[in-house]
């Protein structure tokens, strides 16, 4: 994967602050970034994807501190984040009030991670807050691993496509729900469940 152009990252942040939607490369597939605090931006994100309301939207952060601006961490979340971030582990945690309602699940949670992709972290860091990271495709279609594919499918409705080269694809992030006393595997992914459990022992 190539490094994102810093000039384009600045341009992307201007677009995001204005309520726009930007495609960008993660460590797995291309995602769609919008400001999760902005209801108008999130509504536009849903319209672009053809996604039904009521489906939670994952977010990514530049680092643990930025993630904590969006969700409430507990000791277990801190242990997992320090063991596996940056990397393909998403944690389902109670969202802070600043996150708009359509991003959250019905129970008020949101999934957050710090990705291994430098470009994705750089975009979130430059923006100054977490960004959404739902896959860059119409709902129900396969996620995409290249900027040209995203441009062909969605270029007419996106404000910007950041080309970071081809992404790795493969398994999605492992999704872990930490709301209950015992952690729950929501989605198997790139990090084995037994590694997650061992890190909490």
Sign of the C-alpha dihedral, residues 162, 56, 173, 97? positive
Domain 6-199 is in which class? alpha beta
96: number of Cβ within 10 Å: 15
> Using CA atoms, how far apart are residues 83 and 60, in angstroms rounded to an integer?
17
Residuewise pLDDT in 10s, the chain (201 residues) = 557 889 999 999 999 999 999 999 999 999 999 999 999 999 999 999 998 878 899 999 999 999 999 999 999 999 999 999 999 999 999 999 999 999 999 999 999 999 999 999 999 999 999 999 999 999 889 999 999 999 999 989 999 999 999 998 888 899 999 988 899 999 999 999 999 999 998
**pTM score of the predicted model:** 0.94
């Amino acid at each position: 994967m190539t490094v994102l152009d810093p000039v384009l990252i600045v341009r992307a942040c201007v677009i995001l602050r204005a309520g726009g939607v930007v495609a960008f490369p993660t460590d797995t597939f291309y995602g769609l970034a919008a400001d999760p605090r902005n209801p108008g931006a999130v509504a536009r994100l849903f319209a672009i994807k053809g996604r039904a309301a009521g489906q939670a939207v994952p977010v990514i952060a530049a680092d643990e501190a930025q993630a904590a601006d969006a969700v409430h961490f507990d000791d277990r979340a801190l242990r997992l984040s320090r063991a596996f971030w940056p990397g393909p582990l998403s944690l389902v945690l109670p969202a802070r009030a600043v996150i708009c309602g359509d991003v959250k699940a019905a129970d008020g949670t949101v999934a957050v991670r710090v990705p291994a992709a430098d470009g994705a972290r750089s975009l979130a860091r430059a923006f100054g807050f977490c960004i959404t990271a739902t896959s860059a495709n119409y709902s129900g279609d396969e996620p995409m691993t290249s900027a040209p594919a995203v441009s062909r499918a969605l270029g007419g409705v996106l404000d910007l496509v950041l080309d970071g080269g081809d992404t790795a694809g493969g398994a999605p992030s492992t999704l872990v729900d930490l709301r209950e006393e015992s952690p729950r595997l929501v989605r198997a992914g790139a990090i084995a469940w037994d590694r997650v459990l061992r890190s909490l022992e």
